[in-house]
Chain A
Amino acid sequence: VEFTKVAADPSIVNLGQGLPDISPPSYVKEELAKAAAVDRLNQYTRGFGHPSLVKALSQVYERVCGRKIDPLTDILVTVGAYGSLFSAIQALIDEGDEVIIIEPFYDCYEPMVRMAGAKPVFIPLRYQNNGNCASSADWVLDPAELANKFNSKTKAIILNTPHNPIGKVFTREELQGIAELCIKHDTLCISDEVYEWLVYKGKEHVKIATLPGMWERTITIGSAGKTYSVTGWKLGWSVGPRHLIKHLQVVHQNTLYVCATPLQEALAQALWTDYKRMDDPGCYFYSLSRELEGKRDRMAQLLREAGLKPVLPEGGYFMIVDVSALNVDLSGVDENQPYDYKFVKWMIASKKLSAIPLSAFCGPETKKQFEKYIRFCFIK
């Protein structure tokens, strides 16, 4: 909220908030216009998700996951992935529970966990220098450190892959490690996979819910906003086993009850279009990531030329950048803030360019570790 206000100034180039300024594909926009013209589609639809939408989602994810997914019991449509995170946490996390959050983290995880009366337990991704050009793959969890965070109070771990802000795409082995701990400690996994289609050459998005023993304990979250570059539609979904999804449905029926109809219908039609061509490279699920890979590489190049050190992301549409090498004099900026906050303020004022400081995505203990990084969004 803080940074959006500052960057709303039109004279500033806004690479901060994760908001595409590329156009959504035209067939997506057309479907919404078509849906809005149908009288019945301007009134209430099914509370847990518009029938044609949950059907389309079940088909897409059956194919991706290789298992049967019941559209009525295994899926909940929510107001953005944000709404799915909220529903999952309110449904499954209780007072006194512990929830493991990997740092840096999408900033809403912490307040949502606290609002549920639970304790966030942080574990940082740690930079492992392998000598090559910095990549998001260099950031890893320490297995022993991770194992130590699990105990009898641990109710869930929140996983985000591809990861915001770093762009890390967790490998099958890394997910296996997390899965083993979840099974051993009977822990749930809330897997935020909103950037699931934005994975770059040579990388594979692996769904933790498809690993042995994990479907029964995982909620997988997706987003129309990120899939189709329509963040303003605010539609997301949770996919999981009936015995977990039913509790998210209870939260949903007691919070906002139903999501907007014409948007859901339009999304359903768009998903059918792409479902039918999932064997075709022209499918938007693949073509968007090809388009973004070019932008990623171009942005990384520009940053290097400016003397900054970008961390090349394997997925997502964000890139973190080490700004410490520039050694900018920030003594004029507010003393009490972390380095990256001060740097961004200075950059907005003197370079008319905005980004988000990485310490915004960290718990109190790790701010020092991440304060030389800022995050840029390149879906522009």
Chain B
Amino acid sequence: SIHSLSLSLQAKMSKPVQARRLEGIDKNIWVEFVKLAATYSTVNLGQGFPDFPPPDFLKEALERALGGENHALHQYTRAFGHPPLVKILAQFFGKLLGRDLDPMTNVMVTVGAYQALFCCFQAFVDEGDEVIIIEPFFDCYEPMVKMAGGTPVFVPLRPRTPKDGKLMSSADWQLDPDELASKFNERTKAIVLNSPNNPLGKVFSRGELELIADLCARHDVLCISDEVYEWLVYDGKEHIRIASLRGMWDRTVIIGSAGKTFSATGWKVGWTVGPDRLLQHLRTVHQNSVYHCATAPQDAVAQGFQRELELYGKPDSYFIRLPKDLQRKRDRLIQSLDAVGMKPIVPEGTYFLVADISEFKSDVPDVPDSEEPYDSRFAKWMVKSKGLAAIPLSAFYSEAHKNNYTRFIRFCFAKEEATLKAASDILQKWKREKTRP
């Protein structure tokens, strides 16, 4: 009846329909910035994905998976990971870690590294637990900790001015050891490590990792190690896996991504590697949230890894060719930014770099009592009026610290030559307009 319908509508309005776990996690920077880029940008150096294709051998692997008479690859595979994929991952990472890994218990496949992160927070973080997050951070860590009922505790990387007027490097952003130690207490359940780090491109040194490992051991804390950019390291730097440090294997979950490894972000294949005592809980979350991951992409990624295992360390290895290509692109973008007065921080890894836009501040006036951080307004203005998309650094900081570093924006340089040239052209034109009398 109309009467009961109106009563029910009133009832609906008195209590919120959504669960309390959604509190404070509804905002998402990407929804807004991806839309802006799609609407306004002519050159998109914002969201992190390559604009060049995955390597031929990977595309061919998917073609083979789909083309065969065998249509089993269109049906469910093993829930915790397609057998050929977990087997090769166990072999590959076993080699890298110097360990015998069991594909069934030490590896679990996920829908991208994103879902691996979700499984970790859901599996390990309980109400009242604290999780240490190093700022700046890939933005999903914070809402995921909150959704699990945990409390994020932030500790910043602090920039030190480089000597001799050199360009700043991501290595110049460092943790203060005492400050880090002060964040650990009896409520600390885990620390999230992201190396190479998005957005700065920092590659944590052995000394820095030992510092973290030492604190984890002392306080019995887990380490969620997001290593999706593990192959993208430059200038001869080494990516060190924290799980290989003494005492760490047993308390670490390593997260990896086919999207970043093989330039195929749209495939959404990720994985976790770790001890069974930790992975068993990831399996529980996984089987109650997603259960199976898509079969054909897993099969193709397995073939990709097979090839890389055979070519490991050889010049033809994609894991050698890709960082070589990206280093050139990095240097290209650094040059373009430096030439116009934007000061890039040279990243040691990942395909991101962060630049100081102070020289361009006059284009976007300060609004004293604005809720929105300066760099966010700047980035929005830039995409709308210059067609160049980038992401404000404040997007990678907690609410309380969004205004700490507001003169930096993040560029993605995993782009074709033509794209980087077009970016350079926009920057040059912009610079000319600024210096015109």
Q: How far is the CA of A83 from the CA of B111 in the complex (A)?
A: 11
Q: Which of A36, A47, A244, A254 contacts B144 (CB 8 A)?
A: A254
A205-235 interface with B by 8 A CB criterion: 213, 225, 229-235
> Is A64 engaged at the interface, CB distance under 8 Å to the other chain?
no
**B295 in contact with A91 (CB, 8 Å):** no
Which B residues are in CB contact (< 8 Å) with A93?
A: 19
**A231 in contact with B75 (CB, 8 Å):** yes
**B30 in contact with A247 (CB, 8 Å):** no
Q: How far is the CA of A220 from the CA of B53 in the complex (A)?
A: 36
**B17 in contact with A244 (CB, 8 Å):** yes
- Shortest distance in angstroms between B87's beta carbon and chain A's nearest beta carbon? 15
> Is B319 engaged at the interface, CB distance under 8 Å to the other chain?
no
- Shortest distance in angstroms between B29's beta carbon and chain A's nearest beta carbon? 10
Q: How far is the CA of A233 from the CA of B268 in the complex (A)?
A: 12
**B19 in contact with A115 (CB, 8 Å):** no
Which B residues are in CB contact (< 8 Å) with A45?
A: 266
**1/0 contact trace for A18-52 toward B, CB 8 Å?**
01110110000100110011010111111100000
Q: Which residue of A lies closest to B119 (CB)?
A: A255
**B288 in contact with A91 (CB, 8 Å):** no
**B147 in contact with A92 (CB, 8 Å):** no
Q: Which of B112, B144, B296 contacts A232 (CB 8 A)?
A: B296
Q: How far is the CA of A188 from the CA of B18 in the complex (A)?
A: 11
**1/0 contact trace for B74-98 toward A, CB 8 Å?**
1111110000000000000000000
> Given A39-B53, A257-B114, A80 and B291 touching (CB < 8 A)?
yes
Which A residues are in CB contact (< 8 Å) with B266?
A: 41-45, 260-262
> Is B245 engaged at the interface, CB distance under 8 Å to the other chain?
no
**B71 in contact with A33 (CB, 8 Å):** no
B1-46 interface with A by 8 A CB criterion: 4-5, 8, 11-12, 17-22, 25-26, 28, 30-31, 34
Q: Which of A46, A231, A256 contacts B111 (CB 8 A)?
A: A256
- Shortest distance in angstroms between B278's beta carbon and chain A's nearest beta carbon? 19
Which A residues are in CB contact (< 8 Å) with B79?
A: 1, 4
Which A residues are in CB contact (< 8 Å) with B71?
A: 23-24, 29
Which A residues are in CB contact (< 8 Å) with B140?
A: 254, 257
Q: How far is the CA of A262 from the CA of B297 in the complex (A)?
A: 10
**A42 in contact with B264 (CB, 8 Å):** yes
Which A residues are in CB contact (< 8 Å) with B12?
A: 186
**B76 in contact with A44 (CB, 8 Å):** no
**B290 in contact with A83 (CB, 8 Å):** yes
B50-68 interface with A by 8 A CB criterion: 50-54, 59, 62-63, 66-67
Which B residues are in CB contact (< 8 Å) with A86?
A: 288-290
Q: How far is the CA of A261 from the CA of B267 in the complex (A)?
A: 7
**B264 in contact with A43 (CB, 8 Å):** yes
**B49 in contact with A232 (CB, 8 Å):** no
> Is A94 engaged at the interface, CB distance under 8 Å to the other chain?
yes
**A213 in contact with B5 (CB, 8 Å):** yes
**A184 in contact with B66 (CB, 8 Å):** no
**A80 in contact with B115 (CB, 8 Å):** no
Q: Which residue of A lies closest to B18 (CB)?
A: A247
- Shortest distance in angstroms between B434's beta carbon and chain A's nearest beta carbon? 33
> Is A82 engaged at the interface, CB distance under 8 Å to the other chain?
yes
> Is A111 engaged at the interface, CB distance under 8 Å to the other chain?
yes
> Is B47 engaged at the interface, CB distance under 8 Å to the other chain?
yes
**A111 in contact with B62 (CB, 8 Å):** no
**B290 in contact with A232 (CB, 8 Å):** no
> Is A112 engaged at the interface, CB distance under 8 Å to the other chain?
yes
B residues with CB within 8 A of A? 4-5, 8, 11-12, 17-22, 25-26, 28, 30-31, 34, 47, 49-54, 59, 62-63, 66-67, 71-79, 111-112, 114-115, 118, 140, 143-144, 147, 263-268, 287-297
Nearest 9 pairs of A and B residues by beta carbon: A261-B266, A232-B295, A39-B53, A256-B115, A247-B18, A94-B19, A186-B11, A43-B49, A260-B268
Q: Given A29-B74, A44-B49, A94-B20, list of 14 further CB < 8 A pairs?
A: A33-B67, A47-B30, A92-B19, A93-B19, A111-B288, A112-B289, A116-B19, A186-B8, A250-B26, A251-B22, A253-B30, A254-B140, A257-B140, A261-B267
Complex A-B: 17 CB contacts under 8 Å: A33-B66, A79-B293, A86-B289, A92-B17, A108-B288, A231-B74, A232-B77, A233-B294, A234-B295, A247-B17, A253-B30, A254-B143, A255-B115, A255-B118, A256-B111, A256-B290, A263-B294
